[in-house]
């Protein structure tokens, strides 16, 4: 489902269920150039610097989405990454270098939303992107009731507080609309209040 020579953002969809990968590609094709991979190895072949967003399934035979994510980061592929998977999130996600996490099944609207959010985050610097990724992980863990009682979770929230303090000047350069576009759903906490 590769697009023609256009300037649309490039989205790499990776899922070992070929029908599901094609469905996601169909849903996104009206707005994005979509590349489809049905294995981790194929994803790595397609993952060039032209890819803006990668959508990875975690549970795949031969090479897992976690391994693909690690390989992408080791190779320096600088795309935004969302894990889209049936694997319920646990505290292991805190250390994983992805930007967002969705649990299947997802809707067309959710798929478009996560791609739009990740593209909007690309305009921010590395520390701000780290803050957004941590915020997404925190929200994911809270929605799965995996929060509050672990050292990993406490380190995540402490790092968010530290980054927020460092980033107030940087974030104030963006409008509330740009800032809010970088999030899907925000926990109702002071750390996430719109900027003044």
Q: What is the pLDDT of residues 35-63, one digit of tens each?
A: 999 999 999 999 999 999 999 999 999 89
Task: List the domain boundaries for the chain.
Answer: 10-124, 127-192
The C-alpha atoms of residue 37 and residue 22 are separated, in whole angstroms, by 9
Q: What is the mean pLDDT of the chain?
A: 83
State what percent of residues in the chain have pLDDT above 70. Answer: 80
Closest residue by Cα to residue 139 from 101, 190, 109: 101
Spatial contact of 31 and 119, defined as CB atoms under 8 Å apart = no
pLDDT digit string, tens, across residues 79-92: 999 999 888 888 88
The C-alpha atoms of residue 32 and residue 28 are separated, in whole angstroms, by 6
129 vs 194, which has greater pLDDT? Answer: 129
CATH class label, 10-124: alpha beta
Spatial contact of 164 and 118, defined as CB atoms under 8 Å apart = no
125 vs 76, which has greater pLDDT? Answer: 76
pLDDT digit string, tens, across residues 122-177: 878 788 888 888 888 888 888 776 655 678 888 888 888 888 877 776 666 666 66
The residue assigned the tokens 């992107």 is 129
pLDDT at 100 over 60: yes
């Amino acid at each position: 489902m590769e697009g023609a020579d256009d300037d649309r953002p490039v989205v790499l969809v990776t899922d070992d269920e070929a029908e599901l990968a094609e469905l996601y590609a169909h849903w996104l094709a009206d707005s994005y150039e979509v590349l489809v991979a049905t294995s981790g190895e194929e994803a790595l072949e397609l993952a060039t610097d032209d890819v803006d967003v990668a959508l990875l399934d975690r549970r795949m035979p031969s090479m897992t989405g976690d391994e693909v994510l690690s390989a992408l980061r080791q190779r320096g592929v600088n795309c935004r990454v969302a894990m889209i998977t049936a694997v319920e999130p646990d505290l292991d996600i805190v250390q994983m270098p992805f930007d967002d996490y969705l649990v299947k099944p997802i809707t067309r609207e959710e798929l478009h939303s996560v791609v739009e959010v990740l593209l909007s985050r690309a305009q921010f610097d590395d520390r701000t992107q780290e803050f957004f990724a941590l915020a997404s992980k925190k929200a994911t863990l809270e929605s799965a009731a995996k929060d509050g009682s672990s050292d990993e979770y406490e380190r995540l929230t402490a790092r968010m507080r530290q980054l927020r303090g460092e980033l107030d000047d940087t974030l104030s350069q963006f409008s509330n609309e740009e800032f809010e576009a970088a999030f899907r759903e925000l926990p109702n906490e002071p750390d996430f209040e719109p900027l003044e």
